[in-house]
Amino acid sequence: MGMRQRLPIISLIARLVLAGVFVTAALPKIQDPVAFGQSIIAYRLIEGDLVGWTALALPWLELICAIGLLMPWLKRASAIWIAGLLLVFITLHASAWARGLDIDCGCFGESDGSGINYSLSILRNTALLAAVSYLIWLDFAQKSPLKLKT
Amino acid sequence: MRSLGREFIIIAILVCLGMGFSLATGRSPLPWAAPEIGPGEIRLIDAKALDLIWVDARNEEDFAKAHIPEAILLNEENWDTGLINLMEAWLSIPRPMVIYCADASCGTSKKIAERLREALPEAEIYTLKGGWESWE
């Protein structure tokens, strides 16, 4: 099987993995936005009403974009949103790490209280960012009229 | 490009519907009505992120039953001995202090915090929102 034949399989696997991770992350936060709000506060970057709005909107954005990745009519915007979210998460974790905050990630809803492993979180999000970047490239390369014929 | 814009609009509409669902079903509190913390208060989750000195302002009996690890007992009854213990801990490693009493309705922690601010004007002093109940 050549590389061109393998591309749809790799793309499908990347979409399924990303969708799985983001659905898993979103559902507990939708169930308990108050606990998620507490996790947001712990990062000490936003406060007040903005915390409540973020705790309310972000999980839904994650869920819809996760499902959207698998929908042909939503997959491009969903991939761009997910890439943006991952960039924000990586920056947040790096920032909290640099400030020496001993906090719970809040990434997958309520934590077991064991704290965050910053290097692991950043590594995981970077790998997911690489996967979604590949999907964005694939979607836009297929749409582009300047696509190179191989 | 127009179809990409349409995708973003659909996502925005679906997110708004989801938020509406969370609010309508009572899963989420109203963001604009989020309870604020009072002046000098700190939430448990914020306090846990800090290296600090816990000060237990409840009575000796409650303290003996259970308390936050390494907390120092300091209330109106044992003010002198408690203050000495607290000063020792603070002078060895100056850290913020968080005072707690039984629950959100008790006012002891605030009274102790006021006295401590007078006694130690250079110290960073907070009261724990929700008190011991939030720790439990």
As a whole number of angstroms, the distance between CA A96 and CA A45 comes to 9
Average pLDDT over residues A45-54: 86
Average pLDDT over residues A137-143: 81
Rg of chain A, C-alpha, whole Å: 17
Whether residue A77 is predicted with pLDDT greater than 90 in this model: the reply is yes
Residues of chain B with pLDDT under 70: 1-2, 34-36, 104-105
pLDDT single digits (tens) B67-96: 999 999 999 888 999 999 999 999 998 889
HEC string for chain A? CCHHHHHHHHHHHHHHHHHHHHHHHHHHHHHCHHHHHHHHHHCCCCCCHHHHHHHHHHHHHHHHHHHHCCCCCCHHHHHHHHHHHHHHHHHHHHHHHHCCCCCCCCCCCCCCCCCCCHHHHHHHHHHHHHHHHHHHHHHHHHHCCCCCCC
Q: What's the pLDDT score for residue B1?
A: 66
A64 close contact with B: CB closer than 8 A? yes
Whether residue A142 is predicted with pLDDT greater than 80 in this model: the reply is no
Cα dihedral B128/B130/B131/B136 (nearest 10): -120
Contact criterion met (CB < 8 Å) for A49 and B31: yes
Going by pLDDT thresholds of 50, 70 and 90, the confidence category of residue A83 is very high
Task: Look up the ipTM and state it.
Answer: 0.86
Q: What's the pLDDT score for residue A150?
A: 42
pLDDT single digits (tens) A16-26: 999 999 999 99
Mutation site for B-interface testing, chosen from A36, A41, A56 by largest number of B Cβ within 10 Å:
A56
Rg of chain B, C-alpha, whole Å: 22
As a whole number of angstroms, the distance between CA A104 and CA A36 comes to 10
Average pLDDT over residues A98-105: 78
pLDDT single digits (tens) A109-124: 765 555 678 899 999 9
* B41 backbone dihedrals φ, ψ, rounded to 5°: -95, 155
Going by pLDDT thresholds of 50, 70 and 90, the confidence category of residue A145 is low
Residues of A in contact with B7 (CB under 8 A): 68, 73-74, 76-78
For tokens 């964005």, name the residue. A136
CA atoms within 13 A on the CB side of B32: 0
As a whole number of angstroms, the distance between CA A47 and CA B73 comes to 32
Average model confidence (pLDDT) across chain A: 86
Min Cα separation A26/chain B (Å): 12
Min Cα separation A22/chain B (Å): 15
Q: What's the pLDDT score for residue B111?
A: 85
As a whole number of angstroms, the distance between CA A71 and CA B13 comes to 16
For B68, the 3-state DSSP assignment is coil
Min Cα separation B114/chain A (Å): 25
Chain B, nearest residue to A58 by Cα? B15
Strand order in the sheet with B97-100: B41-42, B125-128, B97-100, B53-56, B72-73
Q: What's the pLDDT score for residue A149?
A: 46
Q: What's the pLDDT score for residue A148?
A: 46
A99 forms beta bridges with none
Going by pLDDT thresholds of 50, 70 and 90, the confidence category of residue A135 is very high
Whether residue A98 is predicted with pLDDT greater than 60 in this model: the reply is yes
